[in-house]
Structure formats: structure tokens, C-alpha cells
């Protein structure tokens, strides 16, 4: 029993680590999509953030500098997205696809120029990464039966970006539901004409939404390469941006629900890797590769209205013509 609890805790611990970049991207997606801009480019922003963070951390030896530059790079990608689909009213999906492909190419091209390692960045020394933060009292609480393990494994011992992502969720919810900016943001995604006639710039609002998304994706990218991993590997975002987008939809464009969806998708992946090669009673060996498709299958089922009804922002995908 104790072993089972321990295993479960390890799985929850892995869940949180897997979900962190998803949560950052999902919050980014909520900002963009709530303002009426489809954001397929979460993936590309995450990838460019990951690359720049690892490259800068490798060159300067500072994880924080890496994080800062990752944010800048990711915001730059957001600005391209905005330039194409806000300023020039281009197709938002096409722009997103372009950014994802650009990111996938640029990261490798620049990576090879800088490091000549086939697109990877050198492995970072420990001091150039975000290290796990030990919380106070871990050792004293160890004596307490279950609580001690929970405290040590689940709550303490993550790096600062994991805690930051847990902050990002209430912050996103607060901004979207409790501030004037958030009210306008939601309005611009539903009825941009109304916002415009109130004398508020639709363009500037949407740009700001995309830039906030850029910041969040940049942090998520830095997490991948400088906190969770120790270097950048080509295409290391590996579809996480798309899973985050799925989580946004699954969470019905609401921060808390999207957060839970990220945790669920993270848990599925964590459980899958634990179940690799395990024979379960009745089912037999778990086809883990198929389990990895579950987030996508669930999202499709949800979108098709088999699990609840999604209600996307009304003006999503439409460029605003004054």
C-alpha cells in the first residue's frame, strides 16, 4: 500500500513536470483566442523560446538571461503573427502554420551556426540551469507518515518555473475576469465592433493579448530546455503547443478549466510512461503509444459535442475590418 501511494505520488510529481509547459502555453492560448485570434503558433513560440533560452544560457552561463531572451524571442514571434493577421488581416491559421515551420527551421539553422552540433545546444552546466528549490522543513516533516512524503515529493523540490506556472493560472484568471483590460479583451473576442465603437483600439488590444501570450510561451520554452532538460534538441517542443491548444479548447477557453485539462493530459502522459510494458489484469499489456493519443481523441470528441458543448469566442478567426 505504501508503495502504491509512493508510486502514485511519483506519477503526480511527473504530471506536474509534464504539465508545466502545457500550462504556460494554454494560458498564452487563452489570451490570444479570447481576443479573437486563433493561435496555432503556440508550438513555434514554445520551440523558439526553448532554443533561445538554451543558447543564451550556454553562451552566458545564466539561466535567467536565457529566460529573458527566450521571452523576447517568443514575443517577436507573436509580433510576426500579429503583423500578419492583425495589421494585414491575413489568415490566422496560415500565419500560425508559417510561424511553426519558421521556428522549426530557424532554431536548427541558428543552432548549427552557433554550436555546430547538428542543431543541438551544448549540455548546460548545473549552475546555468534552473535548479530544484528545496522548501524549508522538508527534513523535519519527513517524520510525518504520508504528509512528509507528499511535502517532499510533490510540493517541494521543483524549479522556480513550475511554481511560476502555478501562479500564472490565477493571474490569468484575475486579468481576464477582474480587470478592465480583461473585460475589453473578452469583448474584443466576442463583439469587436462594440469595443471599437467605445473608442478602444481593437488592433492594440489584440497585439497586447498576443504579446502576453508570447511572454508565457517564452517562459514555457525556457522551462523545456533550461529547467526540465539541460540543452536544446531540435523540435523538442514535440507537439506540446498543440496539446496546450487542445487543453484550451477542452477547458472551454477558461483559465482554471484549461489548467485542469493540462493536468489531465500531463497525468495521461505520466501514467503512460509508468505503464510501459506493464501487464494489467484483464487488459493485458497496455498499448502505451495509443494512450499517448488520448488527449487528441478526447479533444476531438469534445469538439464534436459528444462531451459537453464547446463555446469558442464568437469573433475568433475573423480579422477586424473597421
Partner 1 sequence: MSTPIPPLPRWADLFLLPVINLMAALFICGLIVLAIGENPIEALGVMLKGAFVYSGGLGYTLYYTTNFVFTGLAVATAFHAMLFNIGGEGQAYLGGLGAALVAFAMGWAPSIIALPLAIAGAALLGACWGVIPGYLQARRGSHIVITTIMFNFIAASIMVWLLTGPMLEPGQQSPQSAPLPASSHLPAMHEIFAAIGIKISSTPFNASFLLALLALVLFWVLIWRTRLGYAIRAVGQNPEAAHYAGINVPRTIIITMAISGGFAGLLATNEILGVSDRIILNYTAGYGFTGIAVALMGRNHPIGIFLASLLFGALYQGGAELDFEFQSITREMVLLIQGMIILFSGALAYMFNPPLARLIARLTVSRRAAAHG
**Residues making contact with partner 1 (CB under 8 A):** 38, 40, 80, 83-85, 88, 90-95, 97-106, 108-110, 112-113, 116, 119, 239, 242, 245-246, 249, 287, 289-290, 292-293, 296-297, 299-300, 303-305, 312
Rg of the chain in Å (alpha carbons): 20
Tell me how far, at minimum, the Cβ of 300 lies from partner 1, in Å. Answer: 5
Cell 511572454 locates to: 215
Tell me how far, at minimum, the Cβ of 209 lies from partner 1, in Å. Answer: 18
| DSSP line for 100-138 | HHHHHHHHHHHHHHHH-STTPPPPPPGGGSPPEEPPTTH
Q: Which is nearer to partner 1, 148 or 239 (CB)?
A: 239
Q: Which is nearer to partner 1, 204 or 306 (CB)?
A: 306
Cell of 7: 508510486
Q: Which is nearer to partner 1, 97 or 160 (CB)?
A: 97
For residues 191 and 314, the answer to whether their CB atoms sit within 8 Å is yes
> How would you label 56-81 residue by residue, b for 16+ Cβ within 10 Å and e otherwise?
bbbbeeebbebbbbbbbbbbbbbbbb
Crossing angle of the two packed helices 180-190 and 2-34, in degrees rounded to 10: 70
Tell me how far, at minimum, the Cβ of 131 lies from partner 1, in Å. Answer: 32
Strand partners, 159: 132
Q: Which is nearer to partner 1, 76 or 110 (CB)?
A: 110
Q: Which is nearer to partner 1, 8 or 290 (CB)?
A: 290
Distance CA 25, CA 35 (A): 15
Tell me how far, at minimum, the Cβ of 117 lies from partner 1, in Å. Answer: 12
For residues 76 and 49, the answer to whether their CB atoms sit within 8 Å is no
Distance of CA 65 to the CA centre of its chain: 20
Tell me how far, at minimum, the Cβ of 314 lies from partner 1, in Å. Answer: 13
Tell me how far, at minimum, the Cβ of 166 lies from partner 1, in Å. Answer: 27
Q: Which is nearer to partner 1, 228 or 299 (CB)?
A: 299
Amino acid at each position: 500500500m505504501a508503495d502504491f501511494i509512493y508510486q502514485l505520488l511519483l506519477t503526480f510529481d511527473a504530471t506536474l513536470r509534464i504539465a508545466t509547459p502545457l500550462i504556460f502555453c494554454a494560458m498564452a492560448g487563452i489570451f490570444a483566442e479570447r481576443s479573437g485570434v486563433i493561435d496555432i503558433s503556440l508550438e513555434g513560440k514554445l520551440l523558439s523560446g526553448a532554443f533561445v533560452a538554451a543558447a543564451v544560457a550556454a553562451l552566458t552561463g545564466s539561466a535567467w538571461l536565457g529566460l529573458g531572451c527566450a521571452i523576447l524571442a517568443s514575443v517577436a514571434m507573436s509580433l510576426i503573427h500579429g503583423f500578419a493577421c492583425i495589421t494585414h488581416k491575413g489568415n490566422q491559421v496560415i500565419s500560425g502554420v508559417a510561424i511553426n515551420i519558421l521556428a522549426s527551421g530557424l532554431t536548427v539553422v541558428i543552432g548549427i551556426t552557433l554550436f555546430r552540433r547538428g542543431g543541438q545546444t551544448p549540455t548546460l552546466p548545473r549552475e546555468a540551469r534552473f535548479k530544484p528549490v528545496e522548501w524549508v522543513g522538508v527534513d523535519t516533516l519527513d517524520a510525518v507518515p504520508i504528509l512528509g512524503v507528499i511535502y517532499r515529493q510533490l510540493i517541494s523540490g521543483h524549479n522556480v518555473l513550475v511554481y511560476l506556472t502555478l501562479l500564472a493560472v490565477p493571474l490569468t484568471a484575475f486579468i481576464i475576469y477582474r480587470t478592465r483590460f480583461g473585460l475589453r479583451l473578452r469583448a474584443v473576442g466576442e463583439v469587436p465592433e462594440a469595443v471599437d465603437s467605445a473608442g478602444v483600439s481593437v488592433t492594440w488590444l489584440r497585439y497586447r493579448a498576443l504579446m502576453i501570450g508570447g511572454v508565457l510561451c517564452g517562459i514555457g520554452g525556457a522551462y523545456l530546455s533550461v529547467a526540465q532538460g539541460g540543452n536544446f534538441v531540435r523540435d523538442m517542443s514535440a507537439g506540446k503547443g498543440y496539446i496546450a491548444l487542445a487543453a484550451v479548447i477542452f477547458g472551454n477557453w477558461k483559465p482554471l478549466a484549461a489548467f485542469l485539462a493540462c493536468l489531465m493530459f500531463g497525468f495521461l502522459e505520466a501514467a503512460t510512461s509508468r505503464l510501459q510494458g506493464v501487464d494489467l489484469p484483464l487488459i493485458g499489456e497496455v498499448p502505451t503509444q495509443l494512450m499517448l493519443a488520448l488527449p487528441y481523441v478526447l479533444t476531438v470528441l469534445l469538439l464534436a459535442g459528444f462531451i459537453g458543448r464547446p463555446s469558442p469566442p464568437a469573433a475568433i478567426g475573423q480579422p477586424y475590418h473597421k
